[in-house]
Amino acid sequence: MLFLDEPFGALDALTRETLQQELCRLCSEGEQPVTTVMITNSVEEAILLSDRIVPIIPGPPATLGTPIPVELTRPRSLAQLAHDEQATQVRAHVISTLTASVRGRTLSGTGQTPAPAASLVKPVEEIR
């Protein structure tokens, strides 16, 4: 089992993409695939590398949200994900889940309430 906490966050785009693809290769090769748990702030990176995304819902106390399956064929690339309807639906679901968790909370230091998730994420039908 491999645990990673923001492993690609401080890298330039080319190095990040190379290492993301290398991680995919390492985890899928061999007789027994490697289970990897990775924390990332990038929804795109999560969709690219994951079979399942488990959002962290802010607290206190922070909790794990309901897992969101990523049932896209492999290998994946960011270019492919940009034009894939299923990836767009997963992205919208993840963002909706994350923004819904902050609904009703006050924005730090402003006294304002965030907009509802529905106004932040357009349903797939509206994107077309």
User: Can you give the pTM of this predicted structure?
Assistant: 0.75
CA 28 to chain centre: 20
Q: What is the pLDDT of residue 105?
A: 53
Long-range contacts formed by 82-88: CB under 8 A, 24+ apart: 85/124, 87/47, 88/124, 88/127
Q: What is the pLDDT of residue 120?
A: 36
DSSP 116: P
pLDDT at 6 over 80: yes
Could you report the per-residue pLDDT of 77-125, keeping only the tens digit for each?
Answer: 889 999 999 999 999 999 999 888 777 454 444 444 444 433 333 334 4
Q: What is the pLDDT of residue 125?
A: 41
Could you report the per-residue pLDDT of 16-58, keeping only the tens digit for each?
Answer: 999 999 998 888 777 777 888 999 999 999 999 999 999 988 8
CA distance 79 to 64: 29
